[in-house]
Structure 1
């Protein structure tokens, strides 16, 4: 980025960034490898070793075919002062990446490009990075660690998770990623106002997108084989979310799914095409790892909600989920762990046909988990809007007084 003449921009403090421990590097105590029985340890070692062998063999084959690394950018988020930037390096054939969504079967076969050097810039300002390992978790960058490096290196599965220190205006910004022999790849960074006091964390599967996740066969077909452009939206949910967003223009939306990072683009395009408020996605790494293996759906949601609670310590959250994957009990535990941080909970009730399981009628035969916050139930966004929106309107008015 140097030149023969002095550029006024060179006098500005560079954007510094460092690696952080991601949720898939931070095992919950009961999921740690050393806490497992011998049969579980052996099974995990076999699965992890098998995956590593597959990854190495696939990478060797792809390189013989002339494939080389490219970057898959994921939507970043943060405040005016620091941001989380997440991407993945994978092996791909020469040529530009398709901007359209692919069927899940093709994205599931993605071959990681481990330990790949990536150059990153925010609004054309390059990042200086330093490799610090995985000792830090969720905290803001340390400006005293000013060792200069013009690139960051992805991990053993191709993932790269950085925290960048900066001074940015509120709103969307462009992040560009670059690896050797490829063109710059743009991504989006959502900068949330530090003054924002309310945010939304929404499940995706069967909360905003019809996936029939409780039925493994139907969920697997929808994830791997169905046309991603024909995914159905839960009726009325985009209208409800837009009405909630209108209550406070600074309100950020975060979308949480147990789907793998491989389908991030598919879900991002779904959110855009169906009129939901834009926001970052927090998905799951399905690659078996020595420390964490593969987090369960419930553990995955707890870990990322924990991450957001730490990233935005002054923010209260509205949670949305459904009753097909234990979201009511998961959110009840969140309320218990973080008293005063949850403003309200919306639960979308699945029909027996959607779930292929007995109806989970949390307001009828089965009592809802006890919570100290208002919980609203409905089969559609319109049902939830009738009771939930007036409460949120009243709460937002009181918070501005």
Structure 2
């Protein structure tokens, strides 16, 4: 195995030293939950373990679940989420019904665990995460049934939430200082998602972003407060990795798209993004490789002012380097907000799945097995 990148070694050394100091001062750990998902055959569970002050003497021995959640919210608001010390290599036990599965956190304190043969039926459930120095907390998971054929994969930044990324000062202000209650939702997007899912009650919505895992609790509260359907979030790590100073956001999105296609093979996805970053090209590449997994692509068009805030110039990124959407087998629609997009996606959302021919199936299998892209080859976690 290759030696980890120097940046990762430095970060790990700092984290270990800080964690040792906090332990010596009586700090314990807390589990931060994040919504998971899966099929009837396997489940993907998320969580994070961070250090926290010990319980005050006047606090009840057994605080209520609501109190524990309030404590998690206080420790994951704004800048606190980025200065929290992760518990590296911390043992964690996941309980699914009566089954116990043990694992350890990674170098960022995160848990990303796949559990096979979980025995849960389609729908929403709770699994339980526990750790020796932390209180047990339950985590919501969505099990997608094998008969479900509809699903939504949604970007977050400038698609459901106006963030003005990646301009550094605005991004820092939005992320570190402003509360999720002060941030602005994109008009009509929550309404569109709710109405689409109302006609397909079992359909999942997955929020895919290059944002940091640290912001997951804030984003969850923002989505809930603004009426977005509940769903798992697939985020990434902004810090150093075992291979470099930063993780590639585009590769993260690309890898997660293909992973969802493998894990939920019956679902044809509506891919929703914006033209301020790289969504049109990423979605085009994915739809070209796996047209049978895509129901359609919906792109929110940013205004000229939003484009300037996003990447300095007042034109969309795919106007500079066009994604060949006109060559796709799947439909592509564009509009300025969710209200207009809703009218445009209705037809492709209601469309029945197209049956694959034997030749198409054989071709896809050969491509996936014999010549997989680098991001489809599963390997050790690089955090």
Give the TM-score taking structure 1 as reference length.
0.77
Aligned to 2:132: 180
Query: CA separation in 1, counterparts of 2:121 and 2:332?
Result: 35
Aligned to 1:245: 197
Query: CA separation in 2, counterparts of 1:302 and 1:199?
Result: 17
Within the candidate set 75, 86, 95, 1:121 is matched to 95
> Does structure 1 residue 260 correspond to structure 2 residue 212?
yes
Instruction: Tell me, yes or no, if the aligned pair for 2:280 and 2:318 is still in contact at 8 Å.
Output: no
> Does structure 1 residue 67 correspond to structure 2 residue 27?
yes
> Does structure 1 residue 375 correspond to structure 2 residue 365?
no
Query: CA separation in 1, counterparts of 2:119 and 2:207?
Result: 25
Query: CA separation in 2, counterparts of 1:331 and 1:365?
Result: 16
In proportion to residue count, which structure has more helix? Answer: 2
* SS in structure 2 of the partner of residue 112 of structure 1: coil
Equivalences for 1:190-339 in 2 at 5 Å? 190-291=142-243, 294-339=246-291
Offset, 1:46: 3.3
Query: CA separation in 1, counterparts of 2:166 and 2:241?
Result: 25
Which region of structure 1 is more displaced relative to structure 2, 186-195 or 69-78?
A: 69-78
> Are the structure 2 counterparts of residues 358 and 166 from structure 1 closer, same or farther at C-alpha, using a change threshold of 3 Å?
same
Aligned to 2:73: 100
Offset, 1:302: 0.5
> Are the structure 2 counterparts of residues 99 and 90 from structure 1 closer, same or farther at C-alpha, using a change threshold of 3 Å?
closer
> Residue deviations 1:125-159, cap 9 Å, x none?
232x3xxxxxxxxxxxxxxxxxxxxx322223322
Query: CA separation in 2, counterparts of 1:85 and 1:103?
Result: 22
> Are the structure 2 counterparts of residues 69 and 376 from structure 1 closer, same or farther at C-alpha, using a change threshold of 3 Å?
same
Query: CA separation in 2, counterparts of 1:317 and 1:66?
Result: 48
Instruction: Tell me, yes or no, if the aligned pair for 1:348 and 1:379 is still in contact at 8 Å.
Output: yes
Offset, 1:84: 0.9
Instruction: Tell me, yes or no, if the aligned pair for 1:69 and 1:116 is still in contact at 8 Å.
Output: no
Instruction: Tell me, yes or no, if the aligned pair for 2:291 and 2:330 is still in contact at 8 Å.
Output: no
Within the candidate set 32, 48, 63, 2:8 is matched to 48
**Which residues of structure 2 form unaligned runs of 5+?**
56-67, 356-383
Offset, 1:217: 2.3
> Residue deviations 1:179-199, cap 9 Å, x none?
224322111011111111121
> Are the structure 2 counterparts of residues 182 and 53 from structure 1 closer, same or farther at C-alpha, using a change threshold of 3 Å?
closer
Give the TM-score taking structure 2 as reference length.
0.81
Instruction: Tell me, yes or no, if the aligned pair for 1:67 and 1:94 is still in contact at 8 Å.
Output: yes
How large is the Cα RMSD of the aligned pairs? Answer: 2.4
* SS in structure 2 of the partner of residue 54 of structure 1: helix
* SS in structure 2 of the partner of residue 321 of structure 1: strand
Which region of structure 1 is more displaced relative to structure 2, 318-327 or 370-379?
A: 370-379
Instruction: Tell me, yes or no, if the aligned pair for 2:96 and 2:118 is still in contact at 8 Å.
Output: no
